Amino acid sequence: MIAATVIGIALIAALAFMGRRQSLNTHTGWSIGNRGMSSLTTFFLQAGAIFTSFTFLGMSGLTVLGGVSATYLPAYLVLGYVGMFLIGPVIWKLGKVFNYHTNADMAGHQFRSPLLGKVVAVVCVVFFMPIVQVQIVGLGTMVSFATGNKSAGTASMVVSTILILLFVAWAGLRGVATVAYFKDVAMVVALVVVLAGVLVSYVGDGGIGGVMDQAQELFTVQSGTGTYGIIWFITSVIVSGIGLGAMTLPESWPAVLSANKSRAVSKNHVMLPLYTLATFIPIVIGFYAARYVVVGDGEENSAILSLAADSLPGWLMGCVLIAGISCAIVPAAHCVLSIATLISSNLVPASTSDHRQLTVGRMAAGLVLLLSLGLSLARPDLMANLYLLTYAGLTQLAPVNILSCTRTTRVNATGLLSGLTVGVVIVIVCTFSGISVWGINPGVLGLLANIAVVVMVSAATPTTSRPEVPERLSPRAVRGFPPVSPGSAGSAPSSYSSRYRASRSRSASPSEVQPDVE
DSSP helix/strand/coil, 229: strand
- The pLDDT value given to residue 49: 77
How far apart are alpha carbons 430 and 415 in whole angstroms?
Answer: 23
pTM over 0.85: yes
In the predicted structure, residue 260 carries a pLDDT above the cut 50: yes
DSSP helix/strand/coil, 445: helix
Of 190 and 207, which is predicted with more confidence?
Answer: 190
Q: With respect to residue 420, please indicate whether it lies within any of the assigned structural domains.
A: no
174 within 8 A of 33, measured Cβ to Cβ: yes
Q: With respect to residue 47, please indicate whether it lies within any of the assigned structural domains.
A: yes
* Residue 377 exposed, middle or buried by CB count within 10 Å (0-12, 13-18, 19+): middle
Q: With respect to residue 141, please indicate whether it lies within any of the assigned structural domains.
A: yes
Q: State the pLDDT confidence band at 436, using cuts at 50, 70 and 90.
A: confident
Average pLDDT (236-261) is 93
- The pLDDT value given to residue 471: 58
Other beta carbons within 10 Å of 213: 10
Q: With respect to residue 270, please indicate whether it lies within any of the assigned structural domains.
A: yes
Q: For the chain, how many structural domains are there in total?
A: 1
- The pLDDT value given to residue 70: 87
- How many helices (H) and strands (E) the chain has is answered by 21, 0
What letter would DSSP give residue 475? T
Average pLDDT (112-140) is 92
Average pLDDT along the chain: 83
Average pLDDT (87-98) is 93
Which has the minimum average pLDDT: 210-219, 402-411, 495-504? Answer: 495-504
Nearest alpha-carbon partner for 251 in 416, 111, 424, 84: 84
CATH code (residue 351): 1.20.1730.10
In the predicted structure, residue 464 carries a pLDDT above the cut 70: yes
- The pLDDT value given to residue 441: 87
In the predicted structure, residue 496 carries a pLDDT above the cut 60: no
Q: With respect to residue 396, please indicate whether it lies within any of the assigned structural domains.
A: no
pLDDT digits (tens, 9 = 90+) for 335-380: 999 999 999 999 998 888 999 999 999 999 999 999 999 888 887 6
Task: Print the domain residue range for 234.
Answer: 2-385
Average pLDDT (258-281) is 90
Q: State the pLDDT confidence band at 65, using cuts at 50, 70 and 90.
A: confident
DSSP-assigned beta bridge partners for residue 222: 229
- The pLDDT value given to residue 427: 93
Q: With respect to residue 312, please indicate whether it lies within any of the assigned structural domains.
A: yes
In the predicted structure, residue 500 carries a pLDDT above the cut 50: no
Q: With respect to residue 391, please indicate whether it lies within any of the assigned structural domains.
A: no
- The pLDDT value given to residue 494: 32
Reported as half-sphere exposure (CB side, CA atoms, 13 A), residue 373 has a value of 21
Amino acid at residue number 423: G
Q: Taking the mean position of all CA atoms in its chain, how far away is CA 511?
A: 28
Most confident by average pLDDT, 23-32, 214-223, 257-266: 257-266
Q: At what angle do helices 114-147 and 2-18 cross, to 10 degrees?
A: 150
Backbone angles phi, psi at 173, to 5 degrees: -65, -30
Q: With respect to residue 377, please indicate whether it lies within any of the assigned structural domains.
A: yes
What percent of the chain stands above pLDDT 90?
A: 38
